[in-house]
Amino acid sequence: MKNYFTAGDLPYSVAIMLCLATYLMGHQAATPAKNVAVVEKGAVILEATLDRPNLSEAQIKAQVSEPIKAVLRRYQKNGYVVIDTSRNDQGEITVAAIPPNTIDITNELRTAVHLPIQKPALAAPPAGTSNAAAVGNHE
């Protein structure tokens, strides 16, 4: 007597192989999110303006706002999505979910406005992105 496990007229072994093949094809067809960067733009702007209390509005625009816009535009031109984040009192980013290949460009903004570099929250940018173009016209 033969004991075949079947799904109707289809043997279970064939049904499992079809499910596995479908899963693998779907998994290979899905592309992970690419080129996502996070930045604490508000914190950099606040610190840069508080660090220079005697600047006029035009000087703040030239020394703070424009360099930040340039960094953001550089990342935008290179296809990055930049998420402007905030941190809580423990220093944790409040973005709900970010892809694993996300980079933090906050220190690049800090360098643009001549502030000291801080410990990065995420991995360093991939090679070749330090001279990349910036995202959006954010202030």
Give tens-digit pLDDT for 67-97: 999 998 888 888 888 888 777 788 776 564 5
Task: Name the residue type at position 89.
Answer: D
Range from 36-45, 105-114, 125-134 carrying the lowest mean pLDDT: 125-134
Edge to edge, the sheet with strand 81-84 lists 81-84, 36-39, 103-104
Buried b / exposed e along 50-68 (16+ C-beta atoms within 10 A): eeeeeeeeeebeebbbebb
Q: Please state, in angstroms and rounded to a whole number, the distance separating the CA atoms of residues 130 and 84.
A: 18
pTM, to two decimals: 0.51
Task: Name the residue type at position 41.
Answer: K
Q: How far, in Å, are 8, 32, 44, 68, 74 from residue 35 at the CA level?
A: 47, 10, 22, 19, 12
Using one digit for the tens of pLDDT, what is the confidence trace for 12-37? 788 888 888 888 888 777 776 678 88
